[in-house]
Structure 1
Amino acid sequence: MFESTLERDLAYILPNLPTVVGVRDQVGPVEYVDEDGVVHNHTFDFVADHEDGTSTAIAVKPARRVGPSGLEKTLELISDQQSGFADRFVVRTGDHITRDRAANARLLHRALRGRNEADIAEILAVTNSMRGAAAITAILANSRNFGRGFMAVLCLIADGVLEHVSKGPISISSLVRVRRRAATNR
């Protein structure tokens, strides 16, 4: 269950970030005291755990509601008072959770659900000789597996082996390259 489309979309995006190894949702309540000495509780929409052992507590809110809600001040107070809860406290809005990023994350999620290791191995063999960026169609043309190969490319993007370097949604005409610093969510 998600309270908003932004939360749903971020739930797809977070696991596909190369440094994220775990995501927890609706974490809390976390207690904090405001400037008037009043005790409050806040529940974070997500906490993302990173491969370096750090974590990021994330509050999701439409951009137009961040200022009036006092959310930034709330996160500052929690950060000061509950330093062991997370290493970073951030607000994510539609400026961060774009439609393209969400669509790409849903596409990667779907590819991972149908993961085929043989297809991935075949595409990986083609990408091992890549220098710079290449269109996904060029990668697929150099494999014997054009149809399922697209899903294999998506799995390699999700695994952090390849990175999508074109703007907009991932498509067969998108450019990808071998990730400079291989990071994996697996």
Structure 2
Amino acid sequence: HFTGHVVSGEGPGRIIQIESHHELQGFHCLAARPETGEIYEQVGFEWHDEYGELHTHYFDFVVVQTDGAIIAYSVRPSYGVSDAFFEEMCRISDQARKAGFVADVRLLTEEDLDPIELFNAELLHSVRDEDPEADEAARKAVRDMQGIETLEALRDRAGCGAMGFRALIRLIRSRHLQLVSHERISPKSQVFKREQV
């Protein structure tokens, strides 16, 4: 059985408990999405079955989006999604939405994870620690950019080698830079300035 934790957010962040590798992958993808504001794990919701008996379902993640919508996620391997489980989740989802607990409930399996999104999300998380010198050099390179440029060209302009490349990825993470295409982040990736740095 896999258990662990991951640090969420900027700076010292907040520790999120994880109970499977698939949950970790789901967390990375959810955390990297621009609509995600906050993520909470193992949030309980009381629901009743067809006989009126009360149960508590723990959503693996509850995401408060930047627009204020609250979305609950249950993370399961696809082989664990039986007809009985799906029927139970439909009942829980219906009750959670009607109670105003969440706006929506979503089931997340490994089949729902885009490999490109997952690669980029894990990369964005891996560079979360600041490097003041490289970060300032990357910000200067981005301030001076015009139109679309490759990360490689910006890295060379920043002059910090691999540290500069990681600093540029942090600018993608902070949404100051945006990829032109849906692709795995690499030195050849083209980006444009989304916000001033």
What TM-score do the two structures reach when normalised by structure 1?
0.80
Alignment gaps of 5+ in structure 1? none
Q: Deviations over 1:69-89 (max 9, x none)?
A: 215413432334431x22222
Please report how far the alpha carbon of residue 14 of structure 1 lies from its aligned counterpart in structure 2 after TM superposition.
2.4
Rounded to whole Å, the distance in 1 between the matches of 2:69 and 2:161 is 39
Distance change >3 Å, CA 9–CA 157, structure 1 → 2: same
Give the residue type in structure 1 aligned to 2:67.
Answer: D
The 5 Å alignment of 1:1-186 reads 1=3, 2-28=18-44, 30-66=45-81, 68=83, 69-70=85-86, 72-83=89-100, 85-113=101-129, 115-128=130-143, 129-132=145-148, 134-179=149-194
- Looking at structure 2, the residues matched to 7 and 51 of structure 1 have their Cα atoms a distance apart, in angstroms, of 22
Q: Gaps spanning 5+ residues in structure 2: where?
A: 4-17
Q: Distance in 2 between matches of 1:88 and 1:157?
A: 28
Q: Deviations over 1:48-105 (max 9, x none)?
A: 122233321111122354352215413432334431x222221222233234333322
1:109-147 Cα offsets, whole Å, 9 max, x none, are: 22112x123322322232233313x32112112222222
Q: In the aligned structure 1, how far is the partner of 2:57 from the partner of 2:136?
A: 45
Give the match's secondary structure for 2:186.
Answer: coil
TM-score (norm 2): 0.76
Structure 1 CA distance, aligned partners of 2:42 and 2:77?
Answer: 17
* Stretches of 4+ aligned residues off by more than 4 angstroms: none
1:75–1:125 Cα change, 3 Å: farther
Give the letter for the 1:88 counterpart. Answer: D
